[in-house]
Chains A and B, each alone.
Chain A
């Protein structure tokens, strides 16, 4: 099995690739449209803003093959890789991929907790719906987050996390899974999660 990690030229994909490799996976970097073909599973680590990400995907002509892959192959979006699945984001004028209904908004400090933004550090992940990718992972474990924008709600939500407001820390729809946290930076539990993705059968 070959795992593809998308590199659109702006995100630090190396830590994700390294984590997957440490689990014994063969990893290919996908940075051109033709490289999607030989891939069995796809990981999309995102960094930066939605606008620049979509723009770069367009420049590299990877939007179409990416959308095709999202429809047909096990897909894991990480951080911006979750946000880009939605229709739109407050962060940019550029539209998202529209694979998941809803929009991305800036983290709201509902109880005036004087929150520091970005939400950066270790926070609890509450499992709302059972899923194979959380098998062997207990409820309310700590995962590592770095972000300023969130999906407040979606029917596809698998876990939620509280920071200023309750937000979607992971979601899934058929062959799609996406996390707001960084499993590749979440220590042993993060590696367990990635191992579950490697073994994920749909």
Chain B
């Protein structure tokens, strides 16, 4: 017996509404976050992730309301990310009902935030989110929602994040995100080889076999996807059945 492969539907939220873009652009409205979270829970999601895209200080109160609304109705682990800059932000989100927070740009600008947050709330609470784009044999890290290229190498940065105290790595392949052409399994295989903390693969899910391959070839511990679940193109149950057929442990 081992741990079940986790299937994590992601809600990209802006201004209290679920939205979905392709390649980090072209945003469309896709419904109420709490309703979506409840539906996912009923369908067998193992966790819920909510990313507040371009969350700004002014929108913080909307985010908090959305977090509270989801947390009072859904009783599985719940990760919230987007615009987190300080321990105060983390504290507020955890108090509102998040179980984990996902930190991206702020960790790049201020790696100490991971150290401090991990010390204060425990590593299990801190997810380091990374947006990466392939360039030849390496993957570059992008900050600010994929807008700015940094000097960081994605695999190296993930390793550093683990050393700083992150409990999980959420790696999004910008090349694959929204394309429905499969996960970047080379990237995930490299990560799994180099890390001792769980890796969540994100970006590129389109067909059932893509998700299976991310676990089989990419050795991902968890799979995160937004649109395929949101538009009911593939059900969570079907993904789990496919994984089970390949011999992986799943939770029904």
Q: What residues make up the interface of A, taking CB atoms closer than 8 Å to B?
A: 12, 14-15, 18-19, 21-22, 47-48, 113, 116-124, 142, 144, 146, 162-163, 184-187, 190-191
Q: Helix, strand, loop or mixed for chain A's interface?
A: mixed
Q: How far is the CA of A146 from the CA of B3 in the complex (A)?
A: 12
- Inter-chain contact A118/B75, CB cutoff 8 Å: no
Q: Let me know if B52 is at the binding interface, CB within 8 A.
A: no
- The minimal Cβ–Cβ distance linking A126 to chain B, given in whole angstroms, is 9
- Inter-chain contact A18/B221, CB cutoff 8 Å: no
- Inter-chain contact A15/B97, CB cutoff 8 Å: yes
> A12-B94, A18-B71 given as contacts; is B167 within 8 A of A185 (CB)?
no
Could you say which residues of chain A place their CB within 8 Å of the CB of B94? 12
- Inter-chain contact A116/B4, CB cutoff 8 Å: no
Q: How far is the CA of A47 from the CA of B125 in the complex (A)?
A: 11
- Inter-chain contact B72/A185, CB cutoff 8 Å: no
Instruction: Name the contact of A116 in the complex, choosing from B1, B77, B99, B221 (C-beta under 8 A).
Output: B221
Q: How far is the CA of A117 from the CA of B168 in the complex (A)?
A: 11
Could you say which residues of chain A place their CB within 8 Å of the CB of B3? 119-123, 163
- Inter-chain contact A122/B4, CB cutoff 8 Å: yes
- Give the bracket for the number of chain B residues in contact with chain A: 20 to 34
Instruction: Name the contact of A185 in the complex, choosing from B4, B6, B99 (C-beta under 8 A).
Output: B99
- The minimal Cβ–Cβ distance linking A8 to chain B, given in whole angstroms, is 15
- Inter-chain contact A121/B167, CB cutoff 8 Å: no
A-B contact pairs, 12 of them (CB 8 A): A12-B94, A14-B71, A18-B71, A22-B75, A48-B122, A113-B2, A116-B197, A121-B46, A121-B198, A123-B2, A142-B252, A163-B1
- Inter-chain contact B198/A116, CB cutoff 8 Å: yes
Could you say which residues of chain B place their CB within 8 Å of the CB of A118? 123-124, 167
Within 8 A of A (CB), among B1-55: 1-4, 6, 41, 46
> A12-B99, A47-B122, A142-B251 given as contacts; is B71 within 8 A of A186 (CB)?
no
